[in-house]
Amino acid sequence: MSNHSRKYSSRVVDGNARAPARAMLRATGFTDDDFHKPQVGIASTWSNLTPCNMHIHSLAEEAAKGADGAGGKSVIFNTITISDGIANGTEGMKYSLVSREIIADSIEAVAGCEGFDGLVAIGGCDKNMPGCLIALGRLNRPAIFVYGGTILPGVNHTDIISVFEAVGAHAKGDMKAIEVKQIEETAIPGAGSCGGMYTANTMASAIEVMGMSLPGSSSQNATSENKIRDCQQAGEAVLHLLQQNIRPSDIMSRPAFENAITLVIALGGSTNAVLHLLAMAHSVGVELTLDDFSRIGKRVPVLADLRPSGHYMMSELVDIGGILPLMKMLLDAGLLHGDCLTVTGKTLAENLAGVQPYPDGQAIIRPFNNPIKPDSHLRILYGNLAPGGAVAKITGKEGLGFTGPARVFDSEEETLARILDGTVQKGDVVVIRYEGPKGGPGMREMLSPTSAIMGKGLGKGVALITDGRFSGGSHGFVVGHITPEARQGGPLAMLEDGDIITIDAEHNRLEVQLTDSVIADRLSRWQPPEPRYRRGVLAKYARTVGSASYGAVTDGHDNAH
């Protein structure tokens, strides 16, 4: 190994003065030989509280074998995870986006303290992945991300979103309680991340095309031999990265982020990708803005017929070759930067050179001449309701515009109750405010309300706008990430029931039919609500988090605003 391969661990274990450190490490299993090897931290997000992460400890052990076999010394350590699927619709969901920062901070803290020379990070749920990448970007040591893999479908092609939407169907009277229970019992068959092109699969795909995962890592089933090999090979590959001194800042370039945006659009991915890619770019000092999503979105079509808006699941895409053939299609069409460096030590184009096309007759990935949508489903909206920007997920199936009277709610819980009891009617624009990063605090996902809307058969008859965010499983006419958020005195704060709101996804506008003077007058009389939390992690988050339009980061970008 070259000298720079032990740049950090040598400071911890070399020399007579470091005998106490070596003594501690000997108790954990280190030998004399191990002190001369590069140390590779294996950041595991294992937890038995969610199927997304319940298998990750065994994957971490496989990555450790790979690193040890390639001449390194692996050290497995843990970070936290939470479960959006469990917490959605409750107060606990306020901790979800907060956990992204805790994960990033904890990995950075452990690796920085212990002197790991390289890292493998293994994530399986929504916030694990960007949290891991933020940490790897900040540390800027040779590193690889491994995705824990997707879950298999439940009985009758069901998944977690099927359960959420069953709740709405029951409220409408279309489903009996026993039928809801049957779906509940069979929709989640085992380990792996939620099965559609929801946030986990979206972010895994984005990270792979960005070059921070080995080819194929993002489109493998969680319980498969391919996933075991992926982990072993990741452990080995970190040693090659150490030899070549290839770091995340060499890989996570602006063109690499543009590649990520391109693939997310082609896959019809989650709105959360906007929030997370902005935060990941911030971690390595790359300038990325909301307008980059609009610029790239004008030339990239939606090609994947995947849930939630489409028909298929990630495991079915895995069966026909995963995302690599799609990446090759995009590269050949001139839509990806092929010269970007990746964790293989090769460029993206070199990695894709031998990739074969999808089999004839498959219906999951459309050809360019028959897209699901000719341009992006992720629309960045501006207007007098969103002067700082907002993010809409418009596949085209919902239409491209919506105008209706506001029905205003100050929390997710109140909204859900009024959807289920029939207060929300066809034609309404549901407004959920005070759910932003500071206002929630925590910027909860509005999966329960959007699923209830779909379950009640109002998917094409109701729009929903919020300063909160959405699950990757949300679909319908929805706009989130509205900035400035209501808690900060954004225009959302002055809306009243009956105000006429227009969402225009062709011209990318979000407007209320009020004059500037009326808006200003209402805001002049507005008083911010009392903080919902005054101590603890949520209070600290509310004080430090910045705008969603900059990724809702807590370490300096736009935090004063």
For residues 257, 259, 264 and 270, what is the CA-based torsion angle, rounded to 10 degrees? 0
pLDDT digits (tens, 9 = 90+) for 355-364: 999 999 999 9
Residues 6+ apart with CB under 8 A from 337: 255, 256, 258, 259, 348
Dig out the tokens for 249 from the structure: 């800042």
Q: How far is the C-alpha of 410 from the C-alpha of 421, rounded, in Å?
A: 17
Residue ranges of the annotated binding site for [2Fe-2S] cluster are 52
pLDDT digits (tens, 9 = 90+) for 62-71: 999 999 999 9
* Mean pLDDT, range 243-261, rounded to an integer: 98
Instruction: Measure the CA–CA gap between 264 and 275, rounded to whole angstroms.
Output: 13
> Among the residues of 441-515, which ranges form H helices?
447-455
The pLDDT of residue 399 is above 70: yes
Rounded CA Rg of the chain: 23
With a pLDDT cut of 90, the percent of the chain lying above it is 92
What is residue 400's predicted lDDT score, i.e. its pLDDT?
Answer: 87
Catalytically annotated residues? 471
Extract the annotated binding site for Mg(2+). Answer: 84, 126-127, 445
Model confidence at 340, in pLDDT bands (50, 70, 90)?
very high
Q: Domain spanning 3-152+190-352 has what CATH number?
A: 3.40.50.2300
Q: Per-residue pLDDT for 473 more than 90?
A: no
Beta strands per DSSP E along 194-325: none
Q: Which CATH number fits domain 378-550: 3.10.290.20, 3.40.190.10, 3.40.50.300, 3.50.30.80?
A: 3.50.30.80
Compute, in degrees rounded to 10, the torsion defined by CA atoms 249, 255, 261, 267. Answer: -100
Domain boundaries along the sequence of the chain: 3-152+190-352, 153-189, 378-550
From 431, 497, 422, select the one nearest 467 (Cα to Cα): 431
Confidence of residue 171 (pLDDT cuts 50, 70, 90): confident
> Rounded CA gap, 317 and 401, in Å?
31
Q: What is the mean pLDDT of the chain?
A: 96
pLDDT tens string 22-62: 999 999 999 999 999 999 999 999 999 999 999 999 999 99
Class of residue 78 by CB neighbours under 10 A (exposed 0-12, middle 13-18, buried 19+): middle
Please state the residue numbers annotated as binding site. Answer: 52, 84, 126-127, 445
Return the pLDDT at 560. Answer: 42
Q: Give me the amino acid identity at 22.
A: R
pLDDT for 558: 59
Q: pLDDT tens for residues 147-167?
A: 999 999 999 999 999 998 998
- If pLDDT is split at 50, 70 and 90, which confidence band does 561 have? very low
pLDDT at 398 over 80: no
Checking DSSP bridges between strand 500-504 and strand 401-409, what pairing results, if any?
A: antiparallel
pLDDT at 190: 97
> Using an 8 Å Cβ cutoff, are 453 and 421 in contact?
no
2 pLDDT band (50/70/90 cuts)? Answer: low
Q: Is pLDDT at 1 greater than 70 in this prediction?
A: no
Q: Residue 380 belongs to what H/E stretch?
A: strand 378-383
Which CA distances in Å does 98 have to 69, 126, 281?
A: 36, 12, 18
C-alpha distances in Å from residue 85, one per residue of 161, 198, 470? 9, 12, 12
Which strands form 143-147's sheet, in the order they lie side by side? 73-78, 39-44, 118-123, 143-147
Q: What is the pLDDT of residues 490-531, one digit of tens each?
A: 999 999 999 999 999 999 999 999 999 999 999 999 999 999
Q: So what's the pLDDT on residue 41?
A: 98
